[in-house]
Structure 1
């Protein structure tokens, strides 16, 4: 059974495959100070406990992705990133909603994530999706100037 969800801008969302690792690493590197290497993405994409979703066009050009890790009855959003030219078009929300829909078929009942407390756009999105702040992690994210940002830990029930 092929999983497929609609996305804004004429794109669709489907499960990521190992062959997508290079594109995910590129988009991640455009989105975060310390992007993850292709090999890390390949390892995640080869693991059934790490479902990933890509937003792409009919030629499979990837505009964004979300990567999740499952453990027992919990899910963690490991990372989500959207190509800079596609930001602000609702892809992040569509990727999260596809993940929620897919997770309804799993044992996961709660999802967690960490977000830089200064990433206000992401925090607004997560709050609109039902996440609530539950704690913080000081010094969690490295910054280019050598300082470290605090992560806000958020969670929501999956249904």
Structure 2
């Protein structure tokens, strides 16, 4: 999983730098791209002139999760790798749900952790933290909150 994330990050960093290259020469700005640089990148860099200003603004709002009016490299990479990471966590949940009831029991968590050499104490601590409604099982929704 860590290798996958590192690989994804190495792919998104150059794109961030390309977007930043559409800042006007000599123009001061924040430590990240603004909607105007994203628009220039899409329209001029990618030659996508059919992308409306409203669509570019929507894309930007989705990326500007901190609401700062700019997207830093760290935020950009995190947001761009979020969906694959989410899918990986969903797959991990399904693989650990040995009895296929849509929930993870303490035993299923312990069995999964045993496979990778994690001791029972850590497994129990993990289970207690993730079982937020304290029903003795971890739902997929509880598990996905870790993402």
TM-score of the two chains, using structure 1 as the length reference: 0.22
* TM-score, scaled relative to structure 2: 0.24
Greater gyration radius = 2
The structure with the largest strand share of the pair is 1
